[in-house]
């Protein structure tokens, strides 16, 4: 899928499931800040369950893109968009490439710096205990 196709599909899923910004960032219950049945926003009657069943943002995306009903007990959900295409979309649209490269370069540098640290010699201790007489309780004999 192209980046445009991915974006179009995600917007269609958001619209089809009537997801609002409050579902995206909210917890189990959201207040869409609209009056419901004549109640002002913020009133308990205006709250509704979140359209997502999970709390973490990454799991919300997986739930949105799942082909089947979302099951958090399944290790890997089958998604409507191939993972390699999602990674490309993320790379092209969601990150700062200079910042990402800076982190990568720093990680590689630190790896080699750590490899150059002097190796500490392990000190060996010899411990010996002389026991001339050891009395055990009758229950252990």
Is the overall model pTM greater than 0.75, yes or no?
no
pLDDT-based confidence at residue 48 (cuts at 50, 70, 90)? confident
| Cβ contacts of 1 within 8 Å, gap of 6 or more | 9, 81, 82, 85
DSSP state of 29: E
CA 98/CA 91 separation, integer angstroms: 11
Position 136 scores a pLDDT of 66
CA 81/CA 61 separation, integer angstroms: 11
User: Which tokens is 141 given?
Assistant: 């004999």
Residue 130: pLDDT above 80?
no
Residue 141: pLDDT above 60?
no
């Amino acid at each position: 899928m192209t980046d445009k196709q991915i974006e179009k599909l995600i917007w269609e899923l958001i619209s089809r499931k009537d997801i609002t910004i409050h579902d995206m960032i909210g917890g189990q219950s959201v207040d869409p800040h609209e009056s419901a049945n004549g109640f002002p926003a913020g009133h308990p009657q205006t709250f509704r369950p979140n359209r997502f069943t999970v709390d973490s943002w990454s799991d919300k995306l997986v739930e949105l893109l799942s082909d089947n009903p979302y099951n958090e007990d399944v290790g890997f959900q089958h998604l409507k968009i191939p993972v390699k295409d999602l990674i490309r979309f993320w790379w092209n649209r969601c990150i700062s490439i200079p910042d990402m490269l800076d982190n990568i370069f720093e990680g590689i540098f630190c790896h080699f710096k750590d490899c150059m640290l002097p190796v500490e010699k392990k000190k060996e201790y010899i411990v010996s205990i002389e026991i001339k007489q050891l009395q055990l309780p009758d229950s252990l004999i």
